[in-house]
């Protein structure tokens, strides 16, 4: 069943008289509960796709549909995580994670009365990412990896149907990053939300995704769609298996072609 549907979507930025075609003719359909990764050379409009799907930017051409509805403005209740954790420094980790509950219906109405229940729910989620002892700490008292875990918790606490990840592990060191792939996969296996991950790390894309889309140079278009048929749960050992390495190489070659073109 198609959950997110992009049909011939394009986007032109206008700055004064100059116009830049950032995205040309993107077509993809993402099934419900599918984990999709979008990879491509830098500046190819990967992040633009995220903004189009969530309705933060209106498409200049084509049509974006989410669960059958045409997207015209910001769609509600989407979970988002960026490379920059964007946690609020004046709130504790717990209060940061509960933010979506204060904004998203129907939680918003119940939040004040049922705060204890929500805190218990947040505590459980923090536990699964290994942050149970840090709920009352402020974000700036946490390491980069811990901040990014909290960021993921905040994106997931309201159990969104759609999770958008824009290079969420990009600023982390290699060990922390690989560890968080495991955390991310475990969360997805448990809750089975639909996820779109934008990344330039091909191993990350192959590790996490069901389908990897490769984008061309600017103006970006989708040049390859690759199903990843590696069984889950995948582990770090999986990333050294020949089949995994083969897929990574195949994707890398495709992107090199783009650079050469």
Partner 1 sequence: MREWQREALKIAMPWLVIAVLLAVWEISCVVFDVPEIILPRPSKVFAVFVARFDILMAFGWDTLWTTLAGFLLAIAGGLLLGLAIGASPFVYSGLYPLLIAFNAVPKVAIVPILMIWVGIGALPAVITAFVISFFPIVVNVATGLATIEPEMRDVLRSLGATRYEILTKVGIPRAMPYLFASLKVAITLAFIGSVISETVGGNRGIGFLMLSASARNDAPTTFAGLFTIAIMGVLMYAVCALAEKRMTRWAFRGEIVA
Contact set with partner 1 (CB under 8 A) = 51, 54-56, 74-80, 82, 84, 86, 88-90, 99-100, 102-105, 138, 140-141, 154, 158, 164
Could you tell me if 28 and 52 are in contact, meaning their C-beta atoms sit under 8 angstroms apart?
no
Least distance in Å: CB of 2 to partner 1?
A: 20
Task: Using the minimum distance from each CB to partner 1, give the nearer residue, 45 or 55.
Answer: 55
Task: Using the minimum distance from each CB to partner 1, give the nearer residue, 194 or 216.
Answer: 194
Cα pseudo-dihedral 24, 2, 246, 42, rounded to 10: 30
Q: Which of 129, 106, 130 is nearest to 118 (CA)?
A: 106
Least distance in Å: CB of 200 to partner 1?
A: 18
Task: Using the minimum distance from each CB to partner 1, give the nearer residue, 110 or 249.
Answer: 110
Cα–Cα distance between 54 and 49 in angstroms, integer? 9
Task: Using the minimum distance from each CB to partner 1, give the nearer residue, 99 or 230.
Answer: 99
Q: Which of 57, 63, 78 is nearest to 27 (CA)?
A: 63
Least distance in Å: CB of 153 to partner 1?
A: 13
The two structure tokens encoding residue 98: 């509960």
Q: Which of 73, 126, 77, 136 is nearest to 101 (CA)?
A: 77
Task: Using the minimum distance from each CB to partner 1, give the nearer residue, 63 or 102.
Answer: 102
Phi, psi of 40 (to 5 degrees): 165, 170
CA distance to 48, 146, 157, per residue, from 24 (Å): 11, 37, 34
Least distance in Å: CB of 239 to partner 1?
A: 29
Alpha helix (H) residue ranges in 31-143: 46-53, 93-97, 99-103, 107-110, 115-128
Q: What beta strand segments (E) does 100-243 contain?
A: 162-166, 194-198, 211-215, 222-227
Least distance in Å: CB of 75 to partner 1?
A: 7
Least distance in Å: CB of 7 to partner 1?
A: 21
Task: Using the minimum distance from each CB to partner 1, give the nearer residue, 21 or 99.
Answer: 99
């Amino acid at each position: 069943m198609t959950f997110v549907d992009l049909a011939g979507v394009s986007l032109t930025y206008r700055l004064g008289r100059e116009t830049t075609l950032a995205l040309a003719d993107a077509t993809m359909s993402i099934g419900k509960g599918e984990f999709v990764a979008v990879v491509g050379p830098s500046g190819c409009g990967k992040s633009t796709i995220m903004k189009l799907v969530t309705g933060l930017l209106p498409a200049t051409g084509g049509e974006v549909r989410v669960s059958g509805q045409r997207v015209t403005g910001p769609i509600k209740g989407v979970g988002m995580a960026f490379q920059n954790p964007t946690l609020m420094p004046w709130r504790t980790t717990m209060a940061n994670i509960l933010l979506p509950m204060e904004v998203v219906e129907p939680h918003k109405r119940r939040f004040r009365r049922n705060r204890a229940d929500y805190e218990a729910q947040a505590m459980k989620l923090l536990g699964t990412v290994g942050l149970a002892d840090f709920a009352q700490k402020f974000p700036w008292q946490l390491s980069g990896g811990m901040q990014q875990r909290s960021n993921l918790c905040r994106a997931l606490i309201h159990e969104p149907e759609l999770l958008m990840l824009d290079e969420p592990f990009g600023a982390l060191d290699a060990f922390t990053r690989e560890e968080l792939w495991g955390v991310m996969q475990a969360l997805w296996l448990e809750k089975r939300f639909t996820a779109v991950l934008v990344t330039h790390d091909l191993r990350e894309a192959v590790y996490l995704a069901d389908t990897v889309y490769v984008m061309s140079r600017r103006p970006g278009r989708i040049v390859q769609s690759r199903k990843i048929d590696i069984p889950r749960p995948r582990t770090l050992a999986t990333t050294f298996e020949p089949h995994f390495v083969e897929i990574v190489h195949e994707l890398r070659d495709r992107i090199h072609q783009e650079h050469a073109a």
